[in-house]
Each structure stands twice: as C-alpha cells, then as structure tokens.
Chains A and B, each alone.
Chain A
Amino acid sequence: MSKRSLNGTEWSAMVLAGAERLASHAERVNELNVFPVPDGDTGTNMNMTMTAGANELRSKPSVEVGRAAEVLAKGLLMGARGNSGVILSQLFRGFSRAVAGQQEIGAPAFAAALQQGVDTAYKSVVKPVEGTILTVAREAAKHGLAASRRTADLVEWMREIVLKASETLARTPDMLPVLKQVGVVDSGGQGLVYIYEGFMEYLEGRTGASDFAAPEPQAAAAASSGAHAAEAAGSAHGSGSAHGFAQAKIKTESIQFPYDMEFFVNRDAVARRTPFPEASFRKTLEKDGDSIILIDAGDIVKVHVHSRRPGDVLNAALLYGELSSIHILNMQDQHRELLEHEQEKPGPTTAKLSEGYEGDSIGVEAATGWPPEAMGKLAAAEAAQASEAVATVAHPLAFEMAPLGIVAVSMGSGNEQLLLSLGVDSVISGGQSMNPSTEDLVQAISSLAAHHIFILPNNSNVQLAAKQAAELADKPVTVIPTTSVPQGMAALLAYREEDPLEVNAERMTGAIEKVATGQITKAVRDTRMDGVDIREGQYIGILNKTIVASNDGLVEAARELLAKMLATGDEVVTILAGEGADSEYTDTLLSWIGNHYPDAEVEVHEGGQPLYPYWFMVESV
C-alpha cells in the first residue's frame, strides 16, 4: 500500500488512531514515570489531552487538513494537562499553523509541519530539557525532513519517523541521568512514540480507521433530529459547541430555544439559609427552555439552559443569589453564521482565520508579563477560531470588579479552606497525579469578576498548564510559579493589598524561596535517588525537590525530614496533615518537636490532601 497525500478526513482518522494507541498504552506510560513519588501520571495526562483533541476533531470534522489540524490544536490546547500534555498541545499547535489553508498534505508538508511543531514547543518551555518528549519530537521531525526528500510515499515516510522516534527514545537515558539511574526511557517521549505508531498503523491500513471512515452518514444521522443536534451542542458547551456539517443541515428557525445561557448563582451565607429549590427552579426553566443543567455546589449553583426568554431566566435566578459569569449566546445567530461560513469557499475563510491566529506572536513566556495588547488579540483570534459568537453580557456588578482575583490549585478540603482564608478566590482541586487541564484553569479565570488574575499552580506539573491558561484567558493573568501548597501559602502571606500588582507579583514570587517545603509520601517503586536507598512502600521525606529521608515508619520519616528542615530551631513550622496522618502520629510528632526545638512555633492544620500524610511548611526569620 502506498499513499502520497492525506485529506482532512484521512488525516483526522490517522490522528484518532494515534490517540487510540496512546490510550491503550497510557498505563505503560504512567509506569515509566521515574520519580518514586506517586505522580505516575504522564500517561494519564497525555491521554486526557489527546482525548480532548480527538473529541474536538470528531465533533467538527473537516475534509481540509488545515481546518482539521486547527480544530485538533484547539481541543488539545484546552484539554492540556501535565507538562507532557502541554508540550503535546504545543507540538500540534505549531503543526496546525504550518498546514493552515492546505486541503491535503504529502510527506514534505507533513515533515515541515512536524518541524514547526517542534519549534513552537521548544519556545513554550522555559528551560527545555533534553532526553524528554521534546528531544524525541525534534529528532523525529529533523529526520522526517530529510526522509521526505527521499520518498514521497507517506507510509514509508511515517515508518522512518517511527523508527527515528523509537531510536531517540531508547537513547533518552543517556541524555537524562535520572532516567539512567532508574533504568527507564522517558515517559513523555514514549507517549509520543505511541502516537506516531498509531499514525503508522492507520497508514498501513492496520486499523479500522474508526469512526472517521464515513463522516457523511454520521452527519446525516445527527441531522435527522434537529433537537438532538441542539442537545449535543448544549452538552458540549464550554469545550466548544458541536456543530459543523451536521448542523448545516438543520433550519435556523427550527431552533426552538435560541438563547444558550450559562451562569452561576452565588449563594452567600444569607442566601444559603433557605435551601436552593432545585426541582421547582428546574420547572420554572422548563416553561420556556430545555437542555437544563443545574449543579448545586452549596455556595454556588451552576445553571445552563437553552431558553426562549433569557430575561425571565435571569430574574428567576436572582431570587436565589447574586449572578456571575453570565454567558448568553444566540444559537440562531450562530447557526446563520455557520451556514454562511459553510457556503463560502473554504480557501479564504481558512486564510482569514489562520491570519488571526498567526497574528499572535506571544509565546507562553510572554504571558507571564503584564497585559500586553497581544493578549486581547489572541483572545479575539481564539474566539474567531472557535467560530463561537459568545455574547458576554457585562457583569451586573461590573463596577464592583475586583482589581485582582487569585486562582490556586490544591488538594484536600482543609488546604482549600486555608487557601481561601488567605485570600484565594477560586481553588481548583488538583496536583500530584491529578493535574487540572488548561481548560479547568481558563474557566476558573473567566469565572472571577476581577481585572487581573494571579494563578498559584502549587505543583511543578501544573506550571505549563497555568502558563498556557494565562495565554488563553480573557483577562491578564500572572503565574506565580509556586510548586507546592506551602509555597502558595507563603506567596499569599507576602501579598499586600495596598501595593500595585507588579510589586505584589514580585514579592509573592520572592516569598517562594523563603519557605522550605517538606513532603512525606509512600514510595511507589524500589530505587536509589539523591543518594537515598528506597524500597517500595517505605515513607520518603522530600525537602523541596530532593529526597532526604526514607523510613518504614511514618513518624520516623517525618522526624528525619523535619530535622533536615529546622536549621536554627526557632522557625515557624506549619503541619498540614493529610490522609493517613492519624492524630496519634501528629501528637507524637508535636511532642518530639517540642522537646528538640523548644523555640519553634508550631501550628497544625487538617489539610486533607491524599497521598501525602504530611506536608510541612517551615518559615525562618
């Protein structure tokens, strides 16, 4: 079998095959995670990222490679989680720019696009590390360029890509000492190889080409029921509504409830005295609407509805609290635009969109700076790209917009409460082994009525997703690069309301270095790291990034760690007790600190974080 070019449908099927191969090997990728702490999540993160891209691709099929790649890039960007996931999304972001406007691609264009992906990904990472997914992608792309001059057959060319990628993967332990120490190849690189192998399987005809074999009948099936299509659009709200070919076949007028609404009802202490009457509120909405989703989270109720009378909906909701993040979009309008869009020749449309997209020249790095105008342009380009005419009604309390909103990532309800008490406005659950996606962060950012947002990622694996979210957000965002919850708390303590944002960002970033973070967790594998021998199941103590203690006993490991953290003995020690920290253990620890460090000031809080029985925060004078 030989093939010289791919159209959008074929290219999409190839990508889905890659996603499938990655999905079926995600566990294997997780196992390659080298650090003996339970963060074996590279496979999970990459898979979730790729799945988000694949879903977007399925919902907006295109026969044009340029358009399909753009759709994929958008899905990956929003779904990106974990560092490898973000890098993956950047690889395809660059790819999509390279193939913009192209109907079909052959090996030379494919190779050039891979190269542009690599360039984009390298730019997005502050300190690129060799021996990772970046190296695998780069070597494969470089080889691909050379190979495309020798052969025009895509099957043969892709074989070369896979071969080179695998070969580079095998060499990653030589480039990254930590891999060699543990005796594994890089997990993110392995993930990418699985994706490329999936591509090859498709090109060799070894996969059923899944649901992309026949896009036409599928679209027809969806179009058979207008209501169904509208429903689908509603349920996909937020991650990009489903439209495309299927919707092109329904009549604009058949959209019964044209206003797609989404907002939050803030249930403050006063409002909460009366419980939210979910059933009767639903009834009220049903009078003139459908696709109703009500999520009562106690202090906030999320409302989604397609309604004929948006004003009535807002008035009804106002009875139960203040409204925020109100999004209303006219689906008839959107549908008319979509029809016009489909009637236009694909060429110019794509060119226009890609122009907007290319117009942003800010890398991920630039997003950490101060509101560049480019940020607004990017947001506009993003909106155009999603072809989603979202009418954002001005916040009803626009004059009360706070100058600053703070988003933090953390695990455990106790830690969440602590962070909220220190001034955080929105806490996203996540961290080790459960990284939030870029989209989770973007949504948290847009839900806050504030002019500027600070993000505290509180985990090194959330840094890139946070930076990506900063780039995609609808308002200026600064990432304070905290890598632990204690660091996040130290940053918050350094905040002074009376100072300008720039000064605060600087002071908060500076505070990160003034606090020591200790973490106790269970080793998930036998290994030797940082000169410490570790057996699976033992408790290990990590000081900042380095393993400094290991012991079969929890309290013993905690003592070993604290002894390393307390230098002068008069520090302030904050203990965040997580799952697995019995009060008995904590008391033992407290009396030990009291005996050995009588001058230390100690406070204990129930953090509730999983996987880590203890987090320690040590502040010196």
Chain B
Amino acid sequence: MGAIALVTDSTADIPRAERERLRIGMVPLKVHFGGEEYLDNVDLQPADFYEKLQSFPGLPKSSQPSPADFLAEFERQMADGKEVLSIHLSSALSGTYQSALLAKSMLEDESKVTVIDSKSASMGYGMLVIRAAEMAEQGASMDEIVAEIARIKSSTKLYFLVDTLEYLHKGGRIGRASALFGSLLNIKPILTIDDEGYVNALDKARGQKRAFARIVELLDADFAGKPVDLNVVVTPGKTEMAEELIALLKERFQIRRYMQSEIGPVIGTHAGPGTVGIFMGPAV
C-alpha cells in the first residue's frame, strides 16, 4: 500500500470495477437534462444516459464539480495520511481542472496535493490515472509517477470518430475542426486532442471505411511491428462501428493489453452518440 492516492473526475471513463480495484477517488461532473441534475457516471450510467438523450428534445448540459466537491474528496484521501495526485480533463475543454486547483488552494497544506491538467479526455487520461494508481500501489514516488505518465502521454496516440460534428459544435468544443462542420456531404473527420488539449481535426475521410483505413494508416506509422497497449471507448448500444474498427486494429497490431470502456454521459454530451475513441501507446 503506497503513500499516494489518485483522484480523478468522471470524464476519465474508467470502468467502475477498475476504479474500485485501484481505489481511485472520483469526483463526478454534473449532467443537466432541463431542470434535472445528475451526477456523471454515479447516478446516471452511460446506458441510461443515451436512452434519455434519445427522448430529450435539445441537448443536455454539463457542469464542472465545485471546488467544495474536490475539497471533500482531497480531505477524505488525506485523512489516511496520503499525498494526493489529481489528474483531470483538459482545461481547454472544461473548468474541472480549475475547480480542482481552487480546492487545492483552499487546503491548509497545499503541498500534499498535486493537480495535473491531462490536456486529454476520456480514456486518453483515464489510462494515465490507472497507470499512476498501479505505480502508487507499488510504492513509486510522486516524481516518478508524474514523470512516467508524462512519458506515456507523449507516446500515446489518440484518434476518435464521431457520427456527427453537431454535438461538438453545439457544445462549443469543436476547436479547429469547425471548418468541417456544416458540410452537407457525409464527411468523417478524424479527430484528435492536440498538445494544448483542444479537439482538432487531423484529417477527414469520405465514408466510414476510408476513415477506418486512415486511422489504421496513421497508427501504422507509429506502431507497426511494436507491442502496444490499446484502450477503446465506445458509446453503449452503438458498438457496430467500433467493433469493425477494433477487429481491424486487432488484426493489424501486436496488442499486449486491451481495455474497452463506455463513454460516459459528460463526454457523450459533447461528442454525441456513435462516438468511438482509440488510444494506442507502446506496451508498458
């Protein structure tokens, strides 16, 4: 049992079982359907969320946890005498990181909490949190963990496909992919999150098949012939597209560790149903 506790937020999309196994503290964001408020991934599970999304006219809204929410979680973890490493959703996409920083500043001893802006989303940083928790369990120091996840982050490639850019556009999270929005022809943008944490269109393809082929081609440039870890996030209930792509990837790459999880309500609110995210990095 190490001396460092991990805290993250609900948008890391880490499966509950995994979170519980590694005792990762999770502060949920909030999802609002009209007047109703839900805690992301807590009292609103992915499957229920997409069902609600279907019937809800308009778009749900999301909001960051309050600093008080973080403060409570930090204090709970610190009560055991542990240091806290808190890793969060890209500050370019959400105020969650700001909220966590504020909570830290409200502590008597700020030095016990390290807050990191992952500049990523979903399993893109969920996998960093998992790796950090595993290292903490094995007794690694804060510096070692921070250095290691920075290394993993820089060697991981992240691509995602959305059914429609409408959700990213309406939520204002579209960044430089905006040029593609509004096209009447069916264009599949191949999206990524860039080094500054913004959603960015890396390329575009006509039709799903060409989009898949392009993603394989992009990954091939980095990982051909090397052992890799693969994390995939999918929208529950809309997995056909993901399965086709996963089959392609499994056939093409030497995958050591594979994890598949569901895209939670907050990420789903902004990416829309039918989103699939691919995170590939060198095998740890």
**A residues adjacent to B (C-beta < 8 A):** 417-418, 421-423, 489, 493, 497-498, 570, 572, 574, 599, 601, 603, 605, 619, 621
Contacts and interface: CB of A to CB of B under 8 A. Distances in A.
B79 interface: no
A147 B160 CA distance: 75
A574 B187 CA distance: 12
Contact of A417 (B184, B204, B206): B184
B194 to A, nearest CB: 11
B81 interface: no
Contacts of B213: 621
B209 interface: yes
B91 interface: no
A482 to B, nearest CB: 15
A418 B208 contact: no
A421 B179 contact: no
A299 to B, nearest CB: 15
5 contacts: A422-B184, A570-B209, A601-B206, A603-B185, A621-B209
Instruction: Return the 4 tightest CB-CB contacts between A and B, nearest first.
Output: A601-B207, A421-B184, A572-B207, A572-B206
B208 to A, nearest CB: 7
A422 B213 CA distance: 23
Given A417-B184, A418-B185, A421-B185, A601 B209 contact: yes
B210 interface: yes
Main secondary structure of the interface of B (DSSP, over half): mixed
A422 B209 contact: no
Contacts of B184: 417-418, 421-422, 605
Given A570-B209, A601-B208, A621-B210, A493 B179 contact: no
B244 to A, nearest CB: 12
B202 to A, nearest CB: 10
B183 interface: yes
Nearest to A620: B210
Contacts of A493: 185, 187, 204, 206
Contacts of A418: 184-185
Max chain A CB contacts within 10 Å: which of B183, B185, B210? B185
Interface in B174-224: 176, 179, 182-187, 204, 206-210, 213
Contacts of B209: 570, 599, 601, 621
Interface string B213-253: 10000000000000000000000000000000000000000
Contacts of B186: 601, 603
Contacts of A621: 209-210, 213
Contact of B185 (A570, A574, A599): A574
A553 B183 CA distance: 33
A487 to B, nearest CB: 14
A619 B187 CA distance: 12
Contacts of A497: 176, 179
A489 B186 CA distance: 12
Contacts of B182: 421
Given A418-B184, A489-B185, A603-B185, A572 B204 contact: no
A619 B208 CA distance: 13
A422 B208 contact: no
Contacts of A605: 184-185
Nearest to B178: A497
A153 to B, nearest CB: 64
A621 B205 CA distance: 10
A421 B183 contact: yes
B208 A423 contact: no
A493 to B, nearest CB: 7
A572 to B, nearest CB: 4
Nearest to A605: B184
A289 B182 CA distance: 42
Contacts of B183: 421-422
B3 to A, nearest CB: 46
A498 B180 CA distance: 13
B268 to A, nearest CB: 25
Given A601-B207, A603-B185, A619-B210, 14 more contacts: A418-B184, A421-B184, A422-B183, A423-B179, A489-B185, A493-B185, A498-B176, A572-B207, A599-B209, A601-B206, A601-B208, A601-B209, A621-B209, A621-B213
Contacts of A599: 209
Contacts of B207: 572, 601, 619
Nearest to B214: A621
A572 B208 CA distance: 10
Contacts of A572: 206-207, 210
A18 to B, nearest CB: 47
Contacts of A601: 186, 206-209
Q: Which of B184, B186, B208 has the most CB of A within 10 A?
A: B184
Nearest to A573: B207
A83 to B, nearest CB: 30
B88 to A, nearest CB: 28
Contacts of B179: 423, 497
A605 B184 CA distance: 9
Contacts of A417: 184
B185 A619 contact: no
Contacts of A422: 183-185
A423 B179 CA distance: 8
A572 B204 CA distance: 14
A496 B41 CA distance: 37
Contacts of B187: 493
Interface centre among A493, A605, A619 (most CB of B within 10 A): A493
A421 B187 CA distance: 11
Interface in B110-160: none
A590 to B, nearest CB: 15
B182 to A, nearest CB: 5
Contacts of B185: 418, 421-422, 489, 493, 574, 603, 605
A605 B185 CA distance: 8
A423 B187 CA distance: 13
B214 to A, nearest CB: 10
A493 B180 CA distance: 10
A485 to B, nearest CB: 12
A599 B208 CA distance: 11
